[in-house]
Structure 1
Amino acid sequence: MAANGITLARKLPELKECGLTSVNISLDTLVPAKFEFLTRRKGHERVVDSINTAVDCGSNPAKVNCVVMRGFNDDYICDFVELTRDKPINVRFIEFMPFDGNVECQETRSLLTNAGQSGKGKLFPGLKRLQDHPADTAKNFRMAGHIGTVSFMTSMTEHLCAGCNRLRLLADGNFKVCLFGPSGVNHILPCHSDLLLNFSFLQVIEPDHIIAIASSSA
């Protein structure tokens, strides 16, 4: 489950009882003032508390998504890596992606691409490349002596769509395969029936197959 972490800490124990095993929490800065500027709300301490609670609840790893923006938070990258020293946290550095007309930054893209390709150098000395899962969309590393891991998601520079197997359930009740996809399939009504729910999954995963079934039944 992906969340902003503002109210997640108090809900995590119950979510764990319901079967939740992993969480992705967004945190783009370790500076409270910058957090408030970026998100237009207070709550930095609550997000950090949610990350720690996720670790305490057994999320291994607890994933922290950090969108890197040059001139805003790139000077704290090493501090983010330090979060992985003593806790099973996976810090995931993500390239800035052009949603809703925002402007992507080529300099930031090159920063993460170079780091992710080498895992070495002045910025990230001591990173060891790890074996990736076939469906991973990130390059995974571990700093020598650290419990947690570091990942680089360079989806704008190096397209990773071919290996992605994500099926996303959004807050509005829609299933989507890709965040860039034009539309989703609503699951609110189908969730009352196993047959309809399975059909809604197929609508997202294999829309051409569904069209063929509908055409042959007509």
Structure 2
Amino acid sequence: MGVSYLRVSVTDRCNLRCRYCLPPAGVKPVAHEEVLRFEEIARVVRAAIRVGVRKVRLTGGEPLVRKHLSRLVAKLAELDLVDDLSLTTNGIFLAEQAKELKVAGLHRVNVSLDTLDSERYRFITRGGELARVWEGIELALELGLEPVKLNVVVIKGFNEDELVKLASLSLERPLHVRFIELMPFGPARAWFREAFLSAAAVRAQLEKHFGPLLEVKKLRGAGPACYHRIPGAQGTVGFIAGMSGHICFSCNRLRLSATGMLHPCLFGKGEVDLKGPLRAGAGEEELVRLLAQAIALKRSRPSSLPEIDHLSRLGG
């Protein structure tokens, strides 16, 4: 499969400390000067278009902690052939910035939401306020930042009893609830085995309650998720089987870290430095060559275990 999707981490910093992602004190942030500038990101995206990229997603850390993010959105929105410009966020600052991002040219948002219980949310995020997230989700729907997708990391013993309730969000609103398998990165590595619940098990639980789910063949921005619809629902439910589903062979993405390292694969070794060449004066042809090099690395078979310690440094 060709590469058409670039995930861009705009910062390694995050305002939350989710228990499966970061230790309580977080990880030491990189120096400000080591993070790619907006113009450098735009140069990479322009080169990426030439190797087939048509979808760009801004991630973090938490992207909305990066100051003046709408300026980057505006730069990328001006580029021809970027058909889908999106953002993944924990939602805490979404209500404050959604209108500005929409005006700048952002198409849609994904919001992380692992529970509908405010106390559980505060626990899993180590202090997050669920009400602020919901305010952002409501405003995103109102502004038309759609499809609005909700990312639910499924954790046995934490939120498995909420799966039906979470899926029910798709019934009355055009929300797309995606159930994501826990992956053994960072802190989650220590308790992965006892906390893992497969996408197949999640689907079985939903179908036991709702009956057979209807297949959905197309959804804007659809990546590794397999989408279905509860009969009569406005939105959808999706399943991302990152561990059990062998999705590597259908993966169409590259990941650019906040410090300018291009990662072809979460599960394989090998990364390509773009920041060094960018700051040494590399032109677009050189960037295209480096992107092609990363794509070639991607085509090699993945290893069996993740190589990344903290997904927050890369953007998921």
Q: Would you call these one fold, judging by a TM-score over 0.5?
A: yes
Is the counterpart of residue 103 in structure 1 residue 191 in structure 2?
Answer: yes
Q: Return the offset for 1:34.
A: 1.0
- SS at structure 1 position matched to 2:100: helix
TM-score, with length taken from structure 2: 0.57
Q: How many residues align?
A: 206
Match of 2:248 in 1: 161
Match of 1:11 in 2: 97
Structure 2 residue runs of 5 or longer lacking an equivalent are: 1-86, 300-316
Structure 1 residue runs of 5 or longer lacking an equivalent are: 210-218
Structure 1 window deviating more from structure 2 (57-66 vs 96-105): it is 96-105
The 8 Å contact of residues 264 and 270 in structure 2, kept in 1 or not, is answered as no
Q: Return the offset for 1:32.
A: 1.2
Q: Return the offset for 1:99.
A: 0.6
Q: Which of 198, 201, 211 does residue 291 from structure 2 map onto?
A: 201
Q: Which of 28, 48, 51 does residue 134 from structure 2 map onto?
A: 48
- SS at structure 1 position matched to 2:171: coil
Residue type of the alignment partner of 1:157: S
Residue type of the alignment partner of 2:93: T
Q: Distance in 1 between matches of 2:226 and 2:295?
A: 25
- Report the CA distance shift for 1:15/1:158 in structure 2 as closer, same or farther (over 3 A): same
Structure 1 window deviating more from structure 2 (22-31 vs 172-181): it is 172-181
TM-score, with length taken from structure 1: 0.79
The 8 Å contact of residues 141 and 148 in structure 2, kept in 1 or not, is answered as yes
Q: Return the offset for 1:81.
A: 1.1
Match of 1:213 in 2: none
Name which structure has the greater RCO, CA cutoff 8 Å, separation 6+.
Answer: 2
Q: Deviations over 1:92-148 (max 9, x none)?
A: 0011111123332467434x31444x6864234252122257x73122101111111
The 8 Å contact of residues 99 and 143 in structure 2, kept in 1 or not, is answered as yes
Structure 1 window deviating more from structure 2 (96-105 vs 118-127): it is 118-127
Q: Distance in 2 between matches of 1:75 and 1:19?
A: 38
Match of 2:174 in 1: 88
Q: Which of 16, 34, 59 does residue 120 from structure 2 map onto?
A: 34
Is the counterpart of residue 62 in structure 1 residue 152 in structure 2?
Answer: no
Structure 1 window deviating more from structure 2 (155-164 vs 51-60): it is 51-60
Q: Return the offset for 1:55.
A: 1.6
The 8 Å contact of residues 136 and 163 in structure 1, kept in 2 or not, is answered as no
* Percent identical residues: 36
Q: RMSD in angstroms over aligned alpha carbons?
A: 2.9
Q: Distance in 2 between matches of 1:91 and 1:208?
A: 29
Q: Return the offset for 1:35.
A: 1.1
